[in-house]
Amino acid sequence: MATNKDGASNEPRGHGVEIDKVTGTETTGHEWDGIRELNNPLPQWWLYIFYGCTIFALVYVVLYPAIPLIKTGTDGLLGWHSRSAVARELTAVEQSRQAVMNQIRDTPLEEIRTNNELMQVAFRGGESAFKVNCVQCHGSGAEGGYGYPNLNDDAWIWGGTLEDIHTTLQHGVRYEQDDETRISEMPAFGRDGLLDSSQIEQVANYVRSLSGLEHDDALATEGAQIFADNCAVCHGENGQGQYMLGAPALNDQVWLYSPDLEQIESQVNNPKHGVMPAWSGRLDEVTIKQLALYVWSLGGGQNAEATASN
């Protein structure tokens, strides 16, 4: 038998196919840069796996939904559907939770707060609802942002008791679609000609002085009387704010917008008024109560006496 210089037989075995002299195995007939590939058969284990997968696939097609049709698909002999299974599982979960959800619905907020078991359930439910509905404005950690209140501190615009928070969640703030929404509107002192630019600068310096920020003493002194005549009726004589009017405190270090002098002047001149949607009708009562308990527990929740004294 004639062989080439690489030891492969030159005996014809088909187009380009040769017998390797060392192993006695046919080559595939392909050659790349003088390298030939042996035509070894697939391992038996690999073939068995391949056959098994093929059989499994055929059985699956027969038993389960598998083949899409024009408007529907094959149901399979078992009639099983993943969506139906998920629906059944969700129903089972809802049924298992229904008793405690009913208890939360029927129990006053203060009683839930003092019931450790109910409070734990309400907290987790409120935490989940917050991540879906509230983080877009108040932030993932409830830290707030420019124009959006921080819910972790004890500075409240409309009060921080459980009932206060619950009412705010139910009816929103300046949400026109709800007749019981919380309403407050700061006058545009500059835009409407109630104060001139020098008076606005003076009262802005006085507002900064209330929270211990750097200010012009002379301007702040002039601004004190302007504040008493125009601002104290809502924000309080000492800038402590009033929950009933939705007037924020001005004597702390918490700012809804910015403590910069220019920003305060801008707010006095032509104030911004944020809007919070009413969640009643969008969320069920249990979820709203869970949210109220969650927000209350973030660190700044007040007792009923705190709001009554403001």
Distance CA 6, CA 28 (A): 16
- State the binding site: 134, 137-138, 186, 231, 234-235, 276
Instruction: Phi first, then psi: give them for residue 3, nearest 5 degrees.
Output: -125, 160
**Can you spell out the DSSP letters for 95-139?**
HHHHHHHHHHHHS-HHHHHH-HHHHHHHHHHHHHHHHHHTHHHH-
- State the binding site for heme c: 134, 137-138, 186, 231, 234-235, 276
For residue 162, CA distances in Å to 29, 141, 226, 250 come to 83, 20, 35, 23
Q: What is the DSSP letter of 40?
A: P
Residue in the structure block whose two tokens are 């206060």: 164
- Is 292 in contact with 166 (CB distance < 8 Å)? yes
> CA geometry: angle at 190 spanning 189 and 192, to 5°?
75
Distance CA 204, CA 199 (A): 8
What do you get for the CA distance between the two ends of the chain, in Å?
Answer: 110
List CB contacts of 74: < 8 A, sequence separation 6 or more: 61, 65, 66, 67
